[in-house]
Amino acid sequence: MNTLLYALFCALRCHRWLRLLACAFLFTSVGNGLTQVMVFGLLLDWRGPPSLLTMAYLFAMLPGFLGSLVGEKLCMRFSPIRLLVLTEWLGLIALLFPLLGIQYHSIVALLAVQSTEAFLAGMSWPALTLLFRRGLSEAELPAATCLETMIFASQVLLGTGLGMMLFHHVPAMALLGIDALTFVGSLLMLLLAGSALPSLAPEQAAETERPVAVRWQALAPLQKRSLLLLPALAAVGSPAMALLPALAQQIEPDAAAGLALPLLFARSMGQLCGPLLLKRESLPRYAGRNRLLLTCLGLFLLAYGTVPLLSGMQALGAVFIAHLASNIVFAVGTFSLLSSFPIGQVSSASGKAWRWQTASASLFTCLTALVADVLGPLQALYGVSGCALLMVVAILTRYCK
């Protein structure tokens, strides 16, 4: 068995700190997924226009640009585990925003919690990649790729699954209480992981390579390509993901929330299963294969393009297939980023990739919102994502391995 999932199991068996870290992000993922269900569910119940729903996706992403800058700088002064603990504390405090939103029926407060979570996600990303690069060997990097993918997917998979069962059946305040408990559990796991780290790599405890900034002009072509893979995925994928609630409104005008939440769940299932189809030894090869990456992105766009034409389980299946394909690209891009840079540059490189990914997704989300208001969601999806795919073809051809 050489799949990424098997590589992750082997790494978890060998490293106690990694098991604790995985538990910490499991807690956080459940809480963040619950918050996302609550925010989008309330916006749909309050009958927000398609442009507002699309902009809600933007507010859930754009502050990550600033967050990655802050995280990159802090990684040069503090240990990554301390930064992760800090982000969890701030996330717990940020639950005051949805509390105010529910209390005063405030859309602004709901968007504020999305923005805060985006900032903290961007802040934690450089610390997380630096922690993986320091604590794992080169041979174990596929395990880090798999874990990051599972963290990304379980944020909505577990939280959305629970949220779908509880939303409209449990008061929103109770959902917030559950969310707060998940942050407390995550903080406990991170503190335990921090105490376990020194015994794992004593040779690195005293003299870890000091993080340094990455300069584009000094990078090799392979490193430039690694930095561009995730922003390229964001350019193609963000219009479709931003339009998902609006597409649900178009399919089921009178029951949009009832369809949008299962679509979010199908999205996360695809995100989780896609990378698990890959074998760990094939990741370096796939990172340089333009045809495979472009085929996955094209399949993503095609599957999303059929969603408004389908209904029920068919639409769920199309979304699942779309993210099955796109997250193969995500896994390849994440592995390429971890493996192409030395330990001293990985936090800076990951922060830069996060910012470019955020900028790419924000730009194309804004374009999508404008086109959706004028031409409609489906036309916006085909037009904006299609243009993004052509741009990605040019970029990957220019920086071919």
Q: What is the pLDDT of residues 196-225, one digit of tens each?
A: 875 444 444 444 556 677 788 888 888 888
| The pLDDT of residue 200 | 42
Burial zone of 126 (CB within 10 Å; 0-12 exposed, 13-18 middle, 19+ buried):
buried
DSSP track, 295-333 = HHHHHHHHHHHHGGG--THHHHHHHHHHHHHHHHHHHHH
Q: Which helix (H) or strand (E) holds 280?
A: none
Residue 86 confidence (pLDDT) above 90: yes
**Of 281 and 109, which is predicted with more confidence?**
109
E strand or H helix at 104: helix 96-104
**pLDDT of 312 higher than 70:** no
For 3-19, give one letter per residue: b (16+ CB within 10 A) or e: bbbbbbebbeeebbbbb
Q: What is the pLDDT of residue 48?
A: 58
Q: Is the pLDDT of residue 187 over 90?
A: yes
pLDDT of residue 204: 46
Give the pLDDT confidence score for residue 251 in this predicted structure. Answer: 65
The per-residue pLDDT for 364 is 87
Residues 213 and 30 sit within 8 Å (Cβ to Cβ): no
pLDDT greater than 90 at residue 189: yes
pLDDT for residue 49 is more than 70: no
Q: Longest C-alpha distance within the chain, in Å?
A: 61
Q: Are 110 and 70 in contact (CB under 8 A)?
A: no
Greatest mean pLDDT among 47-56, 90-99, 286-295, 336-345? 90-99
pLDDT band at 88 (very low <50, low <70, confident <90, very high): very high
Among 12-16, 159-163, 219-223, 265-269, which stretch is predicted with the lowest mean pLDDT? 159-163
Domains and CATH numbers, the chain: 4-196+210-398 (1.20.1250.20)
Read off the pLDDT of each residue in 74-79 and give the average, rounded to a whole number.
85
User: What pLDDT was estimated at residue 2?
Assistant: 61
Mean of per-residue pLDDT scores for the chain = 80
Average pLDDT over residues 231-242: 85
Among the ranges given (144-148, 242-246, 304-308, 353-357), the one the predictor scored with the smallest mean pLDDT: 242-246
Position 154 pLDDT exceeds 70: no
